[in-house]
Structure 1
């Protein structure tokens, strides 16, 4: 059976934008907003480009829809990321140690805040808080593997 191997290294490009507001929590929040907002915009454009290629047509209406969707996705995910980063940083400042518990608490607070902003169902808010805390904790554990 033929097999192949890949030798080399892959690295992600690093883009650092620094916005100094004079407040550490706002600096972290705006950094999270910009980075994740950019990722969401890129994902939205890639998705819409793929769909347009599969349909075989590109119209002015499709382009306008894509731009609106890109802005909406970018703003939504950027806001969620900004809230999470700000919450995790704030919890870390209050608790002092830097550990996975900050991510868990920050994720839970973010899940609850975002859920409360979009619906009034108390059970859904609690469920989203648990989900946010679990995802944030898992990401810390995966980062440290």
Structure 2
């Protein structure tokens, strides 16, 4: 039986913004905030644009609501990303080594802080710390595979 194979590669454009805050910790934190905040704002804009066009009701109020949601989502996710990147870098500097354990500790710290800021109880904070550590560690291992 004949068969064929498709071979090729897909590359995505890479955008880097150089921001020099005078400190590597601040540079990485601001970079994480801006990159993930932009992704979150773009996702919110696409989602709201779809809902607005699906309803067929384009108005100034819908547009203003969409902008507010974009800002809210961008700041929220950008803050979490900045916190994670800063925590991971801080752990790396304290430990003096660069490995997956930094991601795990950074994820746990980020999960716990975000949960505590939401006025959650102790059990929920611990669960969120474990979740943050698991997600960050899994992402780090996936990065190693690619």
- Count of equivalent residues: 143
How much does 1:123 deviate? 0.9
1:40-55 alignment, distance < 5 Å: 40-55=40-55
Q: Find the aligned partners of 1:15 and 1:5 in 2 and give their Cα distance.
A: 32
Query: In 1, distance between residues paired with 2:64 and 2:121?
Result: 34
Which 5+ residue runs of structure 1 have no aligned equivalent?
A: none
Structure 2 CA distance for aligned equivalents of residues 27 and 136 of structure 1:
20
TM-score (norm 1): 0.94
Detail structure 1 runs of 4+ shifted over 2 Å in the superposition: 3-9
Give 3-state SS (helix, strand or coil) of 1:120's partner: coil
- Secondary structure of 1:144's counterpart equals helix
Q: Distance between the aligned counterparts of 1:8 and 1:41, measured in 2? A: 31
Deviations 1:88-127 (CA, angstroms, capped at 9, x unpaired): 0000000011110000000000000111111231111111
- CA distance in 2 between partners of 1:137 and 1:48 (Å): 32
Map 1:1-145 → 2, pairs under 5 A:
6-145=6-145
Tell me the SS of whatever aligns to 1:19.
coil
Query: TM-score, length-normalised on structure 2?
Result: 0.93
| Stretch of structure 1 that moved more, 6-15 or 57-66 | 6-15
Cα distance change on mapping 1:82 and 1:4 into 2, 3 Å = farther
Distance 2:144 2:127 in 1: 26
